[in-house]
């Protein structure tokens, strides 16, 4: 099935995280038609997975829910979930973009009542919680999900499961015959707000990720500490109820390393300082070790760092972790303290790998026509092409920086659109 949409001067925003939401709202609120498309079943991106965000330490609902409401209320914005760009043709001011819409297998009748999930016998690894718990094969991606509509993982659904969920749904919303759709858009400019993926921790063999439940990534720590996470917010060793007495944070896990990510992701030091707070709130006496190359918390974040470094039960070791050895009753970190030249072997209950942010488009591997990227996969804005980058698609950064550069991208996209209207 193919649909055609578009008006003169419309802006396409690809990616519905905090950057895409911001770009779409900025462009629409000055009167431009906007198409906002998102690959996953729900908007919000990685911010939705955070427990709290620095520096104010508020829950993600703070920023996201307001934006969701503004998007819902703005008739200039048309949204698509489970949508990706298939092809782009034309020229700046006059692009034809073909989207592929993957089947959700749940139609718009869904009232998110949850009866289907209750009836469903099949479970899958919960993608929102990085597989640290299970969810049903028909699920609401998370409690803040927008749109508030269930989605089916068809591979995880048995025949009995399919029958059970169809029977349980009072609204005839389950549609297992749904097929991939194609939609064609006419737009003047395109903003790429496709964000980032956590760098794959298994790529660093010496850090033993996957060999022990007691070795997790910083994004897993966000989910562990979150009240809506796999342990209802209790920081324990995943897949057990084991509480912790010590934790080791491994900074630059794969970052600033030409064999992995050669750049600094800018936020990992701040994320660790934030996560020290999570630990301290639950374990006032736990010992915290932070292994680092440099601590980077520029500008206004210096105060945040200073407050965490005043923790008497926290030790900061300047030295890159060379090896992590899982043992039956803990994990051993091997490093060299570069200030004292001492070789260290520190045993802890839990290790958090501060993995960096890799541009999502680079991980996905398909570069759409006309898009310019740097050698690390970050998108370079190109005014002549009418294509701009916003948020972490442009550079690894915190939420404040991403929203600022999203506003800038919206302005640039509007300029191309205006020129198209005047010339067209």
Ligand X SMILES: Cc1cc2nc3c(=O)[nH]c(=O)nc-3n(C[C@H](O)[C@H](O)[C@H](O)COP(=O)(O)OP(=O)(O)OC[C@H]3O[C@@H](n4cnc5c(N)ncnc54)[C@H](O)[C@@H]3O)c2cc1C
Cα 278 to chain centroid, rounded: 20
Cβ nearer to ligand X, comparing 169 with 379: 379
Least Cβ distance, residue 330 to ligand X (angstroms): 23
DSSP 171-207: T--B-TT---EEEEEEESEEEE---EEE--GGG-GGG
Question: Binding ligand X by CB under 6 A: which of 40, 231, 246, 362?
Answer: 40
CB contact at 8 A, 389 and 192: yes
Please list the alpha-helical segments (H only) found in 123-259.
Answer: 159-168, 218-225
DSSP 101-148: E---SB-TT-----HHHHH---EEE-GGGTTSSEEESEE-S-TT-SS-
d(CA 63, CA 3): 33
Least Cβ distance, residue 399 to ligand X (angstroms): 3
d(CA 2, CA 98): 9
CB contact at 8 A, 295 and 316: yes
DSSP 32: -
Cβ nearer to ligand X, comparing 161 with 359: 359
Cβ nearer to ligand X, comparing 319 with 359: 359
> What dihedral angle (degrees, nearest 10) is formed by the CA atoms of 180, 185, 188, 193?
-30
d(CA 410, CA 31): 12
By CB under 6 A, is residue 81 in contact with ligand X? Answer: no
DSSP 378: P
Cβ nearer to ligand X, comparing 350 with 392: 392
Question: Binding ligand X by CB under 6 A: which of 6, 10, 19, 385?
Answer: 19
CB contact at 8 A, 40 and 11: no
d(CA 111, CA 329): 46
User: Considering only residues 362-391, where is the footprint of ligand X by CB under 6 A?
Assistant: 364, 391
The residue range among 15-23, 26-34, 87-95, 179-187 that interacts with ligand X, by the rule CB under 6 A, is 15-23
Cβ nearer to ligand X, comparing 6 with 41: 41
Least Cβ distance, residue 45 to ligand X (angstroms): 3
- Tell me, residue by residue from 387 to 416, as one string, x for binding to ligand X by CB under 6 A and - for no binding: ----xx----xxxx-x--------------
Least Cβ distance, residue 105 to ligand X (angstroms): 19
Cβ nearer to ligand X, comparing 54 with 283: 54
The residue range among 17-25, 105-113, 116-124, 345-353 that interacts with ligand X, by the rule CB under 6 A, is 17-25
User: Considering only residues 214-233, where is the footprint of ligand X by CB under 6 A?
Assistant: 218-219, 222
Question: Binding ligand X by CB under 6 A: which of 38, 64, 79, 116?
Answer: 38
Q: In what order do the strands lie in the sheet containing 189-192?
A: 77-80, 34-37, 11-14, 189-192, 387-389
Cβ nearer to ligand X, comparing 9 with 391: 391
CB contact at 8 A, 16 and 36: yes
Closest by CA to 375, choosing from 249, 261, 278, is 261
By CB under 6 A, is residue 54 in contact with ligand X? Answer: yes
Cβ nearer to ligand X, comparing 141 with 161: 141
d(CA 349, CA 329): 7
Least Cβ distance, residue 336 to ligand X (angstroms): 26
User: Considering only residues 166-205, where is the footprint of ligand X by CB under 6 A?
Assistant: 193-196
d(CA 220, CA 61): 19
CB contact at 8 A, 19 and 192: no
Question: Binding ligand X by CB under 6 A: which of 45, 141, 248, 377?
Answer: 45
d(CA 34, CA 13): 7
Cβ nearer to ligand X, comparing 18 with 279: 18
In sequence order, the β-bridge partners of residue 96 are 89, 186
Cβ nearer to ligand X, comparing 173 with 297: 297
Least Cβ distance, residue 39 to ligand X (angstroms): 3
Cβ nearer to ligand X, comparing 122 with 388: 388
Question: Binding ligand X by CB under 6 A: which of 9, 10, 41, 53?
Answer: 53
The residue range among 168-176, 266-274, 279-287, 288-296 that interacts with ligand X, by the rule CB under 6 A, is 266-274
Q: Rule CB under 6 A: which residues touch ligand X? A: 14-20, 37-40, 45-47, 50, 53-54, 84, 193-196, 218-219, 222, 267, 271, 274, 357, 360, 364, 391-392, 397-400, 402
């Amino acid at each position: 099935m193919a649909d055609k949409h578009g008006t003169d001067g419309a802006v396409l925003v690809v990616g519905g995280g905090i950057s895409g939401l911001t770009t779409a709202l900025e462009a629409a609120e000055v009167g431009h038609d906007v198409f906002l498309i998102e690959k996953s079943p729900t908007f919000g991106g990685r911010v939705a997975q955070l427990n709290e965000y620095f520096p104010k330490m508020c829950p993600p609902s703070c920023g996201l829910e307001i934006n969701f409401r503004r998007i819902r209320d703005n008739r200039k914005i048309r949204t698509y979930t489970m949508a990706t760009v298939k092809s782009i043709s034309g020229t700046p001011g006059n692009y034809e973009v073909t989207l592929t819409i993957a089947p959700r297998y749940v139609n718009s009748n869904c009232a998110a009542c949850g009866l289907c999930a209750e009836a469903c016998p099949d479970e899958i690894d919960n993608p929102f919680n990085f597989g640290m718990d299970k969810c049903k094969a028909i699920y609401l991606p998370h409690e803040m999900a927008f749109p508030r509509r269930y989605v089916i993982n068809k591979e995880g659904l048995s025949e009995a499961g399919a029958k059970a969920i169809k029977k349980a749904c009072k609204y005839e919303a389950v549609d297992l015959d749904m097929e991939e759709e194609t939609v064609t858009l006419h737009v003047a400019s395109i903003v790429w707000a496709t964000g980032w993926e956590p760098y794959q921790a298994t790529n660093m063999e010496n850090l033993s990720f996957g060999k022990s439940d007691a070795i997790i990534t910083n994004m897993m720590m966000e989910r562990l500490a979150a009240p809506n996470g796999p342990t209802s917010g209790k920081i324990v060793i995943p897949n057990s109820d084991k509480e912790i007495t010590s934790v080791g944070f491994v900074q630059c896990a794969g970052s600033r390393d030409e064999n992995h990510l050669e750049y600094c992701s800018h936020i990992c030091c701040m994320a660790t300082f934030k996560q020290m707070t999570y630990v301290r709130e639950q374990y006032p006496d736990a010992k915290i070790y932070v292994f680092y190359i440099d601590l980077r918390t520029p500008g206004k974040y210096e105060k945040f760092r200073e407050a965490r470094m005043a923790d008497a039960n926290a030790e900061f070791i300047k030295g890159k972790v060379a090896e992590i050895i899982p043992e039956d009753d803990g994990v051993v970190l091997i490093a060299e303290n570069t200030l004292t030249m001492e070789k260290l072997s520190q045993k802890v209950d839990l290790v958090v790998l501060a993995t960096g942010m890799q541009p999502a488009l680079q991980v996905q591997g398909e570069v759409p026509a006309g898009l310019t990227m740097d050698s690390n996969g970050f998108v370079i804005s190109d005014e002549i092409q009418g294509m701009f980058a916003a948020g972490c698609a442009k550079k690894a950064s915190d939420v404040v920086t991403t929203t600022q550069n999203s506003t800038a991208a919206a302005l640039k996209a509007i300029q191309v659109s205006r020129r198209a209207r005047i010339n067209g």
